[in-house]
Structure 1
Amino acid sequence: MVTTALSETTDTRGNPYAADCATRRILDRVGDRWTMLVVGILSEGDARFSALRRRIEGVSQKMLTQTLRGLERDGLVRRTVYPEVPVRVEYALTDLGLTLCAPLRALQLWSIEHEDDIAAAQEAYDAVE
């Protein structure tokens, strides 16, 4: 059986290197830094918008809103509005969203494990520039 690198395939389905492939848009969504952080927090349980914003340092209200809407549209996050006064809104991972937890946790652990290596490489690169 002959296999080719994904970047060499001509079929655009399942080929994120092709501009019109849906997997590229999916990878763009799940690889986004705000998405990774939101999913990480929601993996611990439901959260309100204000709690997410407090925990994710540096995220603007606009970016958090856009991220949550995109995740909801993609079926990864469920938004629940409770008819109370004042209205209470909570966000939670869907079953599909929960499947992202293990891969994102692996990336988080990888970044922790290699933080010093990357910092050393950056310093060496910057010293040459």
Structure 2
Amino acid sequence: MLAQTLRKLEQNGIVNRKVYPVVPPMVEYTLTPIGKELMEPISMLGAWAEKNAEAVQKARETYEVREDPYALILTETR
């Protein structure tokens, strides 16, 4: 799965991939200029996720209870 993700990032111009002709095989990934531009928005998204983690968890629990009446029993016993 990681290899597929890295290939897609390479395909989209986010990372460069350099393969070294050594044994064992060695591959190096670096950010392209456009990849470096993503650092700030991704950092902001991470900060948002940390800030809102508790609210997101509460929303998940509320959803579970609404969708599965037995989830309330499980939530209360935790």
- Tell me, in whole angstroms, the C-alpha distance in 2 between the residues paired with 1:89 and 1:126: 43
Equivalent position of 1:104 in the other structure: 42
Equivalent position of 1:20 in the other structure: none
Instruction: Report runs of 4+ in structure 1 exceeding 6 Å deviation.
Output: none
How many residues are paired up?
A: 67
Gaps of 5+ in 1: 1-62
Structure (1 or 2) with the larger CA radius of gyration: 2
Q: Greater strand share, 1 or 2?
A: 2
Give the TM-score normalised by structure 2: 0.73
Gaps of 5+ in 2: 68-78
Give the TM-score normalised by structure 1: 0.47
1 or 2 for the larger relative contact order (CA 8 Å, sep ≥6)? Answer: 1
Q: Do the aligned partners of residues 128 and 83 (structure 1) sit closer, same or farther apart at CA in structure 2, a change above 3 Å counting?
A: closer
- Tell me, in whole angstroms, the C-alpha distance in 1 between the residues paired with 2:32 and 2:9: 10
Percent identity over paired residues: 45
Q: Greater helix share, 1 or 2?
A: 2
Q: Which amino acid aligns with 2:58?
A: A
How far 1:121 moved relative to its partner? 2.0
Q: Which amino acid aligns with 2:47?
A: L
